Amino acid sequence: MKKLSFLVAILALAGNTAWADGLQSLDAFLHRVQSGTADFTQTVTAPAKDGQPGRVTTSSGHFAFERPGKFRFDYRKPFPQLIVADGTTLWVYDEDLNQATARAQQDTLDSTAASIIATATSRTELERNFTLENLGADAAPDGLQWIRATPKVSDGQVRSLRIGFQGEQLVAVDMEDNFAQHSSLRLKNFATNATVPASQFQFQPPAGADVIRDQNGS
């Protein structure tokens, strides 16, 4: 489940205020945004092999979240897949295979982009699991303010994260995993502090689905 390692990632904060650096934008996002919805495009680039560029795959869909710890990625193209976190259990459902996987959410998300976007409520909380660094507007020629988040635990799935803000708005999340795979998430049409029905964060495997649970999955 390569999408799971990225997790995706997600959300945005509307606004036009100019911020001095990415860490200030992060603070504003964590303090002011409790829920939201957005459309996303995700590009995954496999590591190069035998001198050949890695395969690039693109997917898109809709995202919703509610702090702390609830989110939903509804992948629609090129094929349907659902990732739902209810605060306790993380579900991944592949519609084509009719297969659902359940994992204990806390054990899975502490050092991922999801903890930054949908779980943490303060920078202090994030710094338990990440080293945060302001990269400013010089990290890429796109006019965004960037931060780098490096997990303090080196044996997890994620090697490093880069989070990009435009003013107060979070619009980009880039990740490199420990297999040298790169993932890039871009957000648009974000509705900040939107009311999201509780049912969006609930998942019941369809009848006849193959259900796989890890040791701590509920």
pLDDT along the chain (218 residues), means of 10: 44 38 88 90 91 91 92 94 93 95 81 77 88 76 83 81 82 89 92 92 93 70
Looking at the domain assignment, is residue 90 inside a domain?
yes
Looking at the domain assignment, is residue 110 inside a domain?
yes
pLDDT at 192: 87
pLDDT at 186: 94
**Domain count across the chain:** 1
Looking at the domain assignment, is residue 182 inside a domain?
yes
Looking at the domain assignment, is residue 7 inside a domain?
yes
User: Residue with structure tokens 């919805």?
Assistant: 37
Looking at the domain assignment, is residue 132 inside a domain?
yes
Give me the CATH number covering residue 107: 2.50.20.10
pLDDT at 117: 81
Looking at the domain assignment, is residue 207 inside a domain?
no
pLDDT at 79: 93
Contacts with 202 (C-beta within 8 Å, 6 or more apart), sequence order: 84, 86
pTM: 0.81
Looking at the domain assignment, is residue 112 inside a domain?
yes
Residue 30 CA to residue 15 CA, distance in Å, equals 14
Q: What's the domain range around 50?
A: 2-192
Looking at the domain assignment, is residue 8 inside a domain?
yes
Beta strands (DSSP E) in 29-155 are: 35-45, 56-66, 70-77, 81-86, 89-94, 99-104, 130-136, 145-151
